[in-house]
Amino acid sequence: MTSMMKTALRLGVLGAIAASTSTAALAQSCDWTPDRAVTYIVPWGAGGGTDANSRMLATMLEQKWGVPFNVVNRTGGNGVTGHSAIANADPDGYTVGAVTVEINTMHWVGLTDLNYSNITPIGLIDIVPASVLVSKDSPFETIGDVLDHARENPGDLTASGTSLGGIWHLALAGMLNAEGMDPESIRWIPSQGAAPALQELIAGGVDMATPALSEGKALVDSGEVRALAYMHDTPMAALPDVPVTAEALESGWTLAAYITISGPEGMPEEISCAYQQAVEEITQTQEWAEFKESRGAEVVFTGGDDLVAYMQAQDEALGATIEAVGLAD
């Protein structure tokens, strides 16, 4: 087994652990509640999976606590702008945000010194395996067709989904590397997130996109795009006919991203505890379950020390992937 395959499997195992972990309600009483508007920063563009999950959670926190939760999309810098805004805010509870898996990738590719130790993790609310999506008019019928074409015509195909070195880029480059191909045999076109990448795919600007399958589900359902692969070891319940890469590829490559709600570094325990309790309660509601089902995603929650340990392990595993595909700074 190659080191890349071991990394891929490790990522899959970590995702499974986090997906099955539910933190028990905290024993201590967390009495803090916000008494004025809260800013909820999203480092990625409107319309993508991070934005959708964050806006739903912000709405439900607003309903719970009775104060506005204003979602602000702070895009730019390949995720650095928004993540920095979260990390550097006053840790008084009035700025939180969607820290995503890119907190484990940006520093490896030299974009920033920021990493998971510079934020206060509150709760993991989403784990999303990548996919391979093509337009409805694409000549490719399977992931094997794509790889065969890329082997014979390196550099001919283009793909998008996020920034250079972002998680959906790593999904593609890592898959190519795991299959014994040049990670650049399919050219990456950077975007500010899944939503603009999918718009570019539909418009014919790129040949494929590799976002979370949940992010492309509505377009798959409508017939605008076709899903050739799901980078996971089990099918998505909402799209059970999409082949999983663990079976379709010789390497067994899999990769998943995650979304958290987190606060700035140094957030007092009383405040982070109050947020964690509130978010865990929300993720146990029928309303949240129905929202996740509409996106073809499972309900997950991990908080506290388990989340910190998960983010640390992801940092190490993704760093190994970044180095293996030649993107490390």
- Predicted pLDDT at 324: 86
- Predicted pLDDT at 57: 98
- Predicted pLDDT at 15: 45
- Predicted pLDDT at 48: 84
Let me know: does 253 contact 174? Beta carbons within 8 Å: yes
| E strand residue ranges, the chain | 38-42, 69-73, 95-97, 119-129, 131-135, 157-160, 186-188, 208-209, 225-230, 256-264, 302-303
- Helix (H) / strand (E) element for 41: namely strand 38-42
CA proximity to 115, closest of 128, 98, 99, 130: 99
Which residues, 6+ apart, have CB-to-CB distance to 152 below 8 Å? none
- Predicted pLDDT at 221: 95
The span from the CA of 74 to the CA of 51, in Å, is 11
Q: What is the pLDDT along the chain (329 residues), one digit of tens a residue?
A: 343 433 443 444 444 444 444 444 444 568 899 999 999 999 998 988 899 999 999 999 999 999 999 999 999 998 999 999 999 999 999 999 999 999 999 999 999 999 999 999 999 999 989 999 999 999 999 999 999 999 999 999 999 998 888 889 999 999 999 999 999 999 999 998 888 999 999 999 999 999 999 889 999 999 999 999 999 999 998 899 999 999 999 999 999 999 999 999 999 999 999 999 999 999 999 999 999 998 888 899 999 899 999 999 989 988 988 998 888 98
pTM of the model: 0.79
- Predicted pLDDT at 296: 83
Which residues, 6+ apart, have CB-to-CB distance to 180 below 8 Å? 251
